[in-house]
Structure 1
Amino acid sequence: MEEKQKLLMSSGGLKLPIGYRFRPTDEELVVHYLKRKVFSIPLPALVIPDFDVFQTDPWTLPGEVKEKRYFFHKQKRDVNIMSKKRVNAGSGYWKPIGKERLIVASELNNQPVGIRKTMVFCGGNRPDNHHHHNHRWLMHEFHLVRPGPTPNSVHLISSMELKECWVVCGVFQKKRRPKKKNGTNSERKHIMMTEVTRPKCSVGPPTPSLSSCSGITEVSTLINGAIDYDYDDDQEESSSKINISHSDDNKP
């Protein structure tokens, strides 16, 4: 017991021994942690603290900044966060990007058990250093679901069905995706031409394995190595289209 108390962090989580990392899969996170939290079942380990991640900026959250940090967050009963366009937090706000990703449990014959929503942090008074300008803050928000009444549909388990509605929020940093700038100055462009090959034409009838008699030229353009650290909000990984119903949808 005394050993356990020494491991507990002030934030409520568990400080793992040196060399250990808490890196669960989406399935493990939903099945063994979120589901147990929602139904008040003892957790396998005290590694996820209860914390309102929307009360502060992501860089001030407790835990190791270089690691993906997980938190249990209790949602308000009158808020359907899945339908919100943005959620205020600290000096900025979280904005949803991409589409929800369905999480299935392999040990339950691939039954749907959760939804992963992705958000990016916008605005805010970021620390004035190179690292924060070249990285973006992302959040994976995990919701518990159960199979819906129709194929390819799931029902979001909300506070309308339970006394408390918990979600797991995974907050982490990701380097902005390099993006080439569209240069207009011809002096900045260096065109590299690959060798042009012109295969001999066959006199007889063409065969399916041969291409037509035309030269092939490959051109690549470099703009003085100018790279713009940017990202596309629509590039988030998503699963096939699914229909998500909510308890509020059943209201008359």
Structure 2
Amino acid sequence: MKSKLRDLPVGFRFRPTDCEMSKYILTKKFLEEQPMEVRNVRYVPEECHDIFSKHPRDLPGYPRETHWFFYCRKLDSHVTTNSHSIWKQIGEETDVLDPKNNDALVGIKHSFILVDYEEESDDILFSDEEEPSNWFMDEISLPLTVSETDWVLCHVFRKPGSSFEER
């Protein structure tokens, strides 16, 4: 996957809230079919249809970057693996509300954690020992009241100061 990153202006970070990701990025991109116009910053987000099979170390800009945003299609099952890890859903889905619009429902959020497994053989048989990492993913989708699209926006990030060691 080739990165389309451009340098950000000094002091600028692209860190939209869940509401902004749903209301402004996902909704405008797929309901209004408008191109994202971002001036003097990186083009965010890109499409990555196999994000659940990638380890964050394989994403463009690693290790300099610790946050990525990708459009992808909803999967029937989020349990997909690469050779040593799996994204597992944590917690329940949560509503994304718009505080500026009487807490209107603008999205649905699912959270995932990357879990590493120890490989037992060349047949990729995994042990029962899960080793949670400090990598997380939030998947934002539009509620059915807004659209029946299968597009979602995924935010992959690393939580700093985690007690887990990077492999």
TM-score, length-normalised on structure 1? 0.49
Q: Is the 8 Å Cα contact of residues 95 and 107 (structure 2) preserved in structure 1?
A: yes
1:37 maps to which residue?
29
Task: For 1:112 and 1:134, locate their aligned partners in 2 and report how far apart those are by CA, in whole Å.
Answer: 31
Q: 2:86 aligns with which of 93, 96, 102?
A: 93
Q: Does 1:170 align with 2:155?
A: yes
Q: Is the 8 Å Cα contact of residues 134 and 176 (structure 1) preserved in structure 2?
A: no
Distance 1:42 1:107, change over 3 A: farther
Distance 1:91 1:54, change over 3 A: same
Higher relative contact order (CA closer than 8 Å, sequence separation 6+): 2
Superposed CA RMSD = 3.0
Q: Does 1:23 align with 2:23?
A: no
Task: For 1:53 and 1:90, locate their aligned partners in 2 and report how far apart those are by CA, in whole Å.
Answer: 14
Deviations 1:79-108 (A, max 9, x none): 434xx5x23245321000111121112343
Q: Is the 8 Å Cα contact of residues 71 and 154 (structure 2) preserved in structure 1?
A: yes
Shift of residue 12 of structure 1? 3.1
Shift of residue 145 of structure 1? 0.8
Distance 1:139 1:70, change over 3 A: same
1:48 maps to which residue?
45
Distance 1:91 1:33, change over 3 A: same
Q: Is the 8 Å Cα contact of residues 111 and 138 (structure 2) preserved in structure 1?
A: yes
Q: Is the 8 Å Cα contact of residues 50 and 73 (structure 1) preserved in structure 2?
A: yes
Task: For 2:20 and 2:94, locate their aligned partners in 1 and report how far apart those are by CA, in whole Å.
Answer: 15
Quick one: percent identity of the two aligned structures?
29
Distance 1:98 1:118, change over 3 A: same
Q: Is the 8 Å Cα contact of residues 116 and 133 (structure 2) preserved in structure 1?
A: no
Select the structure of larger CA radius of gyration.
1
Q: Name the SS for the 1:145 alignment partner.
A: coil
TM-score, length-normalised on structure 2? 0.71
Shift of residue 136 of structure 1? 1.6
Q: Is the 8 Å Cα contact of residues 141 and 167 (structure 1) preserved in structure 2?
A: yes
**Unmatched 5+ stretches in structure 1:** 1-9, 126-132, 148-154, 178-228, 231-252
Q: Is the 8 Å Cα contact of residues 85 and 116 (structure 2) preserved in structure 1?
A: yes
Question: How many residue pairs get matched?
Answer: 145
Task: For 2:89 and 2:80, locate their aligned partners in 1 and report how far apart those are by CA, in whole Å.
Answer: 9
Q: 1 or 2, which has the higher strand percentage?
A: 2
**Unmatched 5+ stretches in structure 2:** 119-130
Task: For 1:19 and 1:124, locate their aligned partners in 2 and report how far apart those are by CA, in whole Å.
Answer: 38
Q: 1 or 2, which has the higher helix percentage?
A: 1
